[in-house]
Chain A
Amino acid sequence: MPQLRKDPVIGRWVIIATERAKRPNDFKQISADITEVMPCPFCEGNESLTPPEIRAVRSPGSRPNGPGWDVRVVPNLHPVLRIEGDLDKQPHGIYDMMNGVGANEVIIETHEHTEHMSSLKYEQIAKVLMAYKERIVDLEGDTRFKYVLVFKNHKPASGATKIRHCRSQLIALPVCPKSVKGELIGAKRYFEYKDRCVFCDIISQELNDKKRLILDIDGFVAISPFAARFPFETWILPKKHSADYTSIIDVDANGLAKVLKEILFRMHRLLSDPPFNYIIHTAPYRRAKKGYWGTIENDYHWHIEIIPRLTRVAGFEWGTGFYINPMPPEDAARFLREA
């Protein structure tokens, strides 16, 4: 059983994935070119190579776990957390731990064998974005979970495995992740002080300044954040205030898909297909501690963070949580605007 362990100093939870325990040899530095896994388990016709699907956008008449789908959601074959069991919170001397219970799903973004989300039609991307929403809504029924993280790793340097077929992942967690919590606390504090959403204030300032604005279309803005940690870090935010990603409806998904496709396409061109990650930041489930989240609908604002993996994070960044970014976001925004 994997474990979740809490660092007593930082208060951050870590998954100790004992079932994937590795030996030192497994970490030998791998070279850049990878042999692709064949046949691809994410291609149409190979549905039997994945665990049974959880959900799929299918053409009428097609059968589950057979061909005829646009988007398909399956459990991760090598999950970092297990769906079965109780949390069983317990101490270990001064330390705290609980069982690694959680869901780990893969969202296959297309039945075609392509690596690039930016090459998909925006209508197809919108279907993927709606699948994210449906999964987050569905997992709320499981009272063990506090948070669902939806993210994408593009290319091996970003953490993706040896399959070149575009997909995203989600992980449902029994704890609220450290940096999400930091954001929630920061947003709440700002709201208590100003009675306004910090993200709404950022959007209006960026629309006004224009220096860090990349795109402004169909109700969404893409910006280079003022204190970007990484070169070409980009955030996409809805102009309309909403704490929960799950508030999006079809028309929003279309707008978001257009902005996301455009940003990924520009990054691809400008930076020669860099490895990248994106992650959706949304409000946690509010079943537990309802009072604690009293103002969350007003103070938090969902968004997507996209991080191209261009620099190596060195000891300084890792050990201090203090990042050195060699690219001023104003320049990054200009490059991306003009790409």
Chain B
Amino acid sequence: MGELRLDPMTARWVIISNEKDFGPEGYDIESPSIDGSGACPFCPGNERLTPPEVDADRPSASGADTPGWVTRTVPNKFPALKNEPDLERSGIGVFDMMNGIGEHEVIIEDTDHNKQLADLSIEQIKRIIYVYKRRSIELGRDERFKYVLIFKNYGLAAGASLEHSHTQLISLPIVPKRVMEELECAQRYYDYKERCVFCDIARQELDYRHREICENDDFVAFCPFASRSPFEISIIPRRHQAYFTNISDGQIENFARILKEILMRVRQALHNPPYNFIIHTTPLNGNNSSNDFHVYYHWHVEVMPKLSKIAGFEWGSGFYINSTSPETASRYLREAVI
């Protein structure tokens, strides 16, 4: 059973996971790429290698945990958090903790072991986004959870442990630190200007153009003004929308298009780098009486190609050194031939 622990200094929560509970020998310091040998648990025909599915697109109405699916969602075999009946908070002296409740799921994006997300058709990417939406709504029903995170790790250096293309989804009893900081800043900005900071950013980037990569009717993609890492990308809805789960059918089409385009541009411009993306959305129940997150927060996607090693300086200070300006990065990405 994992635990969530609160650092008394920075109010940062950490998951202490003892599912894997490695000794020192459990850590590989450098290994080149993902070990593709052995049966892939995400390939059709190997459904028994995963826990029973929680969601699947089965156009031919085949039975659960058998082939015939086009997307499939299963619980993570090595979850960072586990679902338990009760959320218990406790304290020992100066320290605070709670048990690590949460759901941790894996969305298998396609049947083809060798395709990347960027290779999939718009139709297939749309199906995947519908799964993101469906699972987020489903997990958000549990009132103990405050947040549902959707993220993808591509490549070993970005944290993926399996080759077969997949996205992960995790529900949490707390709002993550970084989202909390974004919420606080967005609130301060709103209090001062009565406008959403993300709407203002989208407007300024569309106007200024030097950091923009591409756009369509519903979304704009750009390299953020103060990017933490080289070639970092934001994709944000052009019109104010607090919750990812409010994405409309029309927006899903345009989201699939811009996501595919960005991933293709990243692959082309940067020679198929490892990358991560993560969807930041408003915390669950963000429009209850005690707050109005939905007024000033605006969902968006962060895409981070994994290029430079983060040094001690960055870790210790939260102060990042980025050696490619976002203006230069966006030019490379814009000019990539896809």
Within 8 A of A (CB), among B271-296: 271, 273, 275-278, 280
A271 surroundings in chain B (CB, below 8 A): 24, 27
A19's closest neighbor in chain B, by CB? B323
CA distance A22 to B27 in the complex (A): 32
Contact digits for A1-41, partner B, Cβ 8 Å, 1 yes 0 no: 00001111111111111101111110111001000000000
Main secondary structure of the interface of A (DSSP, over half): mixed
Given A151-B313, A319-B276; 14 other pairs, CB 8 A cutoff = A5-B225, A7-B226, A10-B181, A12-B320, A17-B323, A95-B226, A157-B30, A175-B319, A227-B95, A307-B315, A309-B29, A315-B152, A318-B276, A335-B23
- Which of the segments A115-123, A126-134, A242-250, A275-283 contacts the partner chain? A275-283
- Please determine whether B94 and A205 come into contact, CB atoms closer than 8 angstroms: yes
B153, B158, B176: the one contacting A322 at CB < 8 Å is B176
A10, A14, A310: the one contacting B29 at CB < 8 Å is A310
- Please determine whether A325 and B15 come into contact, CB atoms closer than 8 angstroms: yes
- Please determine whether A178 and B318 come into contact, CB atoms closer than 8 angstroms: yes
- Please determine whether A305 and B316 come into contact, CB atoms closer than 8 angstroms: yes
A226 surroundings in chain B (CB, below 8 A): 5, 7-8, 95
CA distance A9 to B186 in the complex (A): 6
A94 surroundings in chain B (CB, below 8 A): 197, 200-201, 204
- Which of the segments A179-187, A215-223, A255-263 contacts the partner chain? A179-187
B179's closest neighbor in chain A, by CB? A320
Within 8 A of B (CB), among A173-219: 173, 175, 177-180, 182-183, 186-187, 190, 198-199, 201-202, 205, 209
CA distance A41 to B275 in the complex (A): 35
- Which of the segments B58-66, B247-255, B304-312 contacts the partner chain? B304-312
Interface residues in chain B, defined as those with a beta carbon under 8 Å from any beta carbon in chain A: 5-24, 26-27, 29-30, 80, 93-95, 149, 151-153, 156-160, 168, 170, 172, 176-179, 181-182, 185-186, 189, 197-198, 200-201, 204, 208, 224-228, 230-231, 269-271, 273, 275-278, 280, 302, 304, 307-326, 328, 332
B321 surroundings in chain A (CB, below 8 A): 14-15, 17, 80
A305 surroundings in chain B (CB, below 8 A): 316
